[in-house]
Amino acid sequence: MNKAFVKEDADGDDEDMPGAPALPAGSRNYMTPRGYGQLRQELDDLLKRERPRLVETVSWAAGNGDRSENGDYIYGKKRLREIDRRIRFLIKRLESATVVDPAAQENTEQVFFGATVCVCDAGADSPEHTYQIVGVDEADASGGRISWISPLARALIKARAGDVVRFASPSGLREIEVVDIRYV
């Protein structure tokens, strides 16, 4: 079948972007001001810099004649679809965002969204680990930022310094102690 008659991407599939974390059904899209700013910067970069430059390249390639064997044109059109899909995804995420500033948190004795929490394994002389509870789009476990929907973050929510919480990790059931809570 000719590619002209095959629908490559459905309009409603923006939520299923490869690598994009899904939000739980019916939940809000919480973000820190930093995370919101990063997504906003990516959107602006795509709209003002990358997409116009690619449109110019595709336009030039289209003017070169036979499009069926024109690599610049074929790759450019494919990349343009990817960029447009990412732009739609970012717009939806930013429109549905609820920005929560951790510095404005009033109850700093408990763990809530945006908290930076220092924990260690309960009952063991183990090293401390520090995590910040952030939105799904800004999570980076290697950087110490965990999504508010992760099992660890859900276990930590509403805990206080000195509390021991249990959660299911990939290695099995774990108990950790909350050492310190900060809102920065």
- CA distances from residue 94 to 63, 97, 135 in whole angstroms, order as listed: 36, 5, 12
**Residue 157 has what pLDDT?**
95
* Residues contacting 145, CB < 8 A, separation 6+: 131, 132, 134, 138, 139
Band (14; pLDDT cuts 50, 70, 90): very low
**Residue 11 has what pLDDT?**
45
More confident position, 89 or 8? 89
Architecture per CATH, domain 28-99, reads as Orthogonal Bundle (1.10)
**Residue 13 has what pLDDT?**
47
Give the CATH fold of the 102-182 domain: Chitinase A; domain 3 (3.10.50)
Band (113; pLDDT cuts 50, 70, 90): very high
Query: Which of 8, 16, 184 lies closest to 102 in space, CA to CA?
Result: 184
**Residue 16 has what pLDDT?**
54
Judged against a pLDDT cut of 60, whether residue 91 lies above it is answered with yes
Structural domain spans, the chain: 28-99, 102-182
What phi and psi values does residue 109 have, to the nearest 5 degrees?
Answer: -85, -15
**Residue 165 has what pLDDT?**
95
